[in-house]
Homo-oligomer: A and B are copies of this chain.
Amino acid sequence: MNIILFEKDELKSECIVLTDHRAKHIAKVLHSEPGDCVRIGEIDGKIGTGKVVSIQNRYPFLVELSVSLSARPAPPPSIDLILAMPRPIMLKRILSQVTALGIGTMYLVNANRVEKSFWDAGILNEDEYRPHLLHGLEQAVDTRLPEIKIFRYFLPFVEEYLPDLGTQYSSCIIAHPDSPNSLSDCLKNQDGGILYAVGPEGGWVDFEIEKFLAAGMKDFSIGSRILKVDTAAVSIHGRISQLLG
Contact = CB atoms under 8 A, between A and B. Distances in A.
Interface in A207-245: 222-228, 230-231, 234-239, 241-243, 245
A48 interface: no
Each complex incorporates copies of this chain amounting to 2
Contact of A238 (B100, B139, B238): B238
Interface string A134-158: 0000011110000000000000000
Interface of A: 2, 74, 76, 97, 100-102, 139-142, 182-184, 222-228, 230-231, 234-239, 241-243, 245
B224 A183 contact: no
A184 B228 contact: no
Given A225-B141, A226-B140, A242 B238 contact: yes
Given A235-B237, A238-B235, A239-B241, A225 B102 contact: yes
A101 B183 contact: no
Nearest to A225: B140
A218 B40 CA distance: 32
A23 to B, nearest CB: 21
A-B complex: 9 closest residue pairs judged by Cβ atoms: A238-B238, A235-B238, A140-B225, A239-B242, A234-B234, A238-B239, A242-B242, A97-B231, A2-B226
Contacts of A237: 235, 238
A93 to B, nearest CB: 9
Which of A74, A230, A242 has the most C-beta atoms of chain B within 10 angstroms of its own C-beta? A242
Given A101-B231, A236-B238, 12 more contacts: A74-B224, A97-B231, A101-B227, A102-B225, A139-B226, A140-B226, A140-B227, A141-B226, A183-B242, A234-B235, A234-B238, A239-B239
